Structure 1
Amino acid sequence: MHFYTTTGMPIFETIDPAKLFVDPAYQRDIGERGLRQIRRVVEGFDWAKFKPPICAYADHDGATVLKVLDGQHTAIAAASNPYITEIPVMIVEADDTASQAKAFIGQNTQNLAVTNLQLHQAAIAAADEDALTLELTCAAANVKLLRTPNSYTGDGSRQTIAVKQIESLIARRGRIVARRILEVIADAERGPITATQIKAAEMLLTDREYADQIDPADLTSAIVDLLYTAEEEAKFYVISHKVTLWKALGVVWFRKCKKRRGAALRVA
């Protein structure tokens, strides 16, 4: 059996780690946790534990640089160590930012240390159609998808990190319905939009058991009226009825809604 690839075999070179380039277009912010990791690597550097960063040559501001596709913490730790002047790196073919971002996704899809938000930003840089659709859907609903966790501003209203839940919502319901569901939650302006809230709103606005009885605007009003007590009530409902939290939250919201006939959100 023969396997064909579109790129050549990687090469290995020794490079001054201070000369490596980390592209913010798809690489993650270091953060305090990352800084602690880098300090541990610097203080306890051991070649037996060293994993060569994966890099690619690229143009940046008219100059040729060696971009780090995977292993930025290792590269930064090596550059921060005064006793390390060269490190081995693996160099692959990835000519442009989109190709490099795709390589980053490929290297990190199974890496639990890389968050869904980071992979989404890499997919945006790679011009992935689904990622761009997700961004457009959030923008149409006046919802801001944050780049990193814990980066909410103000009370977090109209902001979210629930990238995987929104991605799944679009896949199930389409972009238009997904936008309407996000709008219902966002218009309540009662803090960050969570995956639990999205699934609860989807159930109420698309399941005929509920959707025929409520209007989307009334659901927004119910969320506003309940404020933060809804989640607390939902937790008790989970215990008493043995259901998931998102279903329980949906039931709590539904009980507060005005009931109407024929008010279902039509799924396109």
Structure 2
Amino acid sequence: MTPLHAHTREEPFTDPGELPVIDWLDKSLIDIDPAYQRGLDRPRVAKILRGFEWASFGAIVVAPAGDGRYHCTDGQHRLEAAKQHPMVSVVPAIIVAVSGAKAEAANFIALNRDRKNISALDRYWAELAAEDEDALTISQVVNRAGVTIQRYATIDYKPGQTVAVSALRALVDTRGVIRARQVLEVLAKADLAPIKGEHIRACELLMTDDEFREDVEPEALTEAMAGDDEQMGIDAKAFAKTHRMPAARALASVWFRKSRKKRKAA
């Protein structure tokens, strides 16, 4: 059995190049080259600035630009936050041996091409472990509603399980804990497996929008959701295409029609 670390002649190691220098640099000596860098996301900078800590800052990547100055090829938002912080004068930097705009741009692409940003699900579990207040609130709401957030996405869900953390976060932020729990209780009782983001948004719409909420009874809505979720998804997609509306609103319309029929039958 070939060891995992073994390397064959057909797959030679690449030359890693010149060793970079790691140093603390004066923040005023580092610039951004707009020829290849993205525009600054000001809200993102403000968020970093509000929670600025060296423990989570990391090192930015820079390239020598001549005359003792540098161009930042990775970490421009952290750099901008550092520049705005009155107690910060230097930043940790990895100085790579590239020269010129073309080489810097290639370095920028190499750093970002295969980067995998943290998913909303991974972020939630990390925040929960860190006892973040918002994550703890979400956990409390879903638990009380009878919903379970899974650690990983899978193909074998059980009723009441979900990985739709972004939709859950938006629901709690927008509607508050009490209303969010009421929405999730309706979904949990329908035995959906899993509870998807569009399920959460559709149920929220039916229970809060003026167009629907006066005519929606939670019990009838739960009963309308139960059944062939795949077929209802197909019906919702067709409805969305015909009426040119978002998928969640189309699903809400399908559920609303079913819940009204069940009320009339009762």
Q: What is the TM-score with the length of structure 2 in the denominator?
A: 0.55
Matches within 5 A, 1:146-225: 146-150=150-154, 153=156, 155-225=157-227
Partner Cα distance (1:143, 1:250) in 2: 20
Counterpart in 2 of 1:117? 121
2:212 is paired with a residue whose SS is helix
Deviation at 1:70, TM superposition (A): 11
Matches within 5 A, 1:4-15: none
Amino acid at match of 1:133: T
Q: Tell me how large the CA RMSD over aligned residues is.
A: 3.2
Describe the shift of the 1:124–1:208 C-alpha distance in structure 2 as closer, same or farther (beyond 3 A).
Answer: same
* Structure 2 residue 138 is matched with structure 1 residue 134: yes
Partner Cα distance (1:189, 1:121) in 2: 24
Partner Cα distance (1:138, 1:175) in 2: 9
Describe the shift of the 1:209–1:157 C-alpha distance in structure 2 as closer, same or farther (beyond 3 A).
Answer: same
Partner Cα distance (2:254, 2:18) in 1: 52
Deviation at 1:215, TM superposition (A): 0.4
Describe the shift of the 1:125–1:213 C-alpha distance in structure 2 as closer, same or farther (beyond 3 A).
Answer: same
Identity %: 34
Per-residue CA deviations over 1:9-61 (Å, capped at 9, x if unaligned) read xxxxxxxxxxxxxxxxxxxxxxxxxxx9xx9xx97465349999xxxxxxxxx
Partner Cα distance (1:124, 1:50) in 2: 38
- Radius of gyration: which is bigger? 2
Counterpart in 2 of 1:256? 258
Deviation at 1:183, TM superposition (A): 1.2
Amino acid at match of 1:131: A
Amino acid at match of 2:219: A
Describe the shift of the 1:118–1:227 C-alpha distance in structure 2 as closer, same or farther (beyond 3 A).
Answer: closer
Structure 2: runs of 5 or more not aligned: 22-55, 59-114
* Greater RCO, 1 or 2 (C-alpha within 8 Å, sep 6+): 1
Deviation at 1:156, TM superposition (A): 2.7
Partner Cα distance (2:257, 2:18) in 1: 57
Deviates more, 1:227-236 or 1:239-248: 227-236
Deviation at 1:149, TM superposition (A): 1.6
Structure 1: runs of 5 or more not aligned: 1-35, 53-68, 72-110, 261-268
- Count of residues in Structure 1 that have an aligned counterpart in Structure 2: 166
2:190 is paired with a residue whose SS is coil
Deviation at 1:116, TM superposition (A): 1.1
Partner Cα distance (2:176, 2:209) in 1: 15
